[in-house]
Structure 1
Amino acid sequence: MKFQRIEDLRIDHDLTQNDIAKILSCQREVYRRYEKGSRQIPVDYLIKLANYYGCSTDYILGLTDRKTPYPK
């Protein structure tokens, strides 16, 4: 499954794959595989990305078009 939204969010924030790999504490190649869908993204990384970008995990996964996170 290709995660187009993590690529779109990264580009919208003018970040490189290397920048996000550092945030996730993984190698750039590993992160690149998440974006391209050749590797499944771990839940803890998904949560980190949602918190970093200020959006919901559902938005990243393509389950909703609502970008804002859900109230806690």
Structure 2
Amino acid sequence: MTPMRKLRKERKYSQVKMQMLTGIDQSDYSKIETGKRNMTFEQCRRIALALDTSMDYLAGLTDDPTPYPKTK
């Protein structure tokens, strides 16, 4: 299970819910989640915000799903 899917399941979100939260079409989201399609910077940002994680976690650059503190 990919980290993105794991976080989505932990939050009990469906792919349709992710579509509503991110504005990314459900079929495109599914392809991103399974690795059949790369996400754009903007899609990564939207998914990170919806899942309350960091873009680095989604990109596999860290194992810590904790989001970074927001700047003022």
TM-score by length of 1: 0.81
Alignment of 1:1-72 (within 5 A): 4-71=2-69, 72=71
CA-based RMSD of the aligned residues comes to: 1.7
Deviation string for 1:14-70 (max 9, x for gaps)?
A: 011111012221321111101111111111111112122222111111111122223
Query: What runs of 5+ residues in structure 1 fail to find an aligned partner?
Result: none
1:26 is matched by which residue type in structure 2? I
1:15 is matched by which residue type in structure 2? Y
Higher relative contact order (CA 8 A, sep 6+): 1
Query: What runs of 5+ residues in structure 2 fail to find an aligned partner?
Result: none
Q: Deviating runs (4+, > 3 A) in structure 1?
A: none
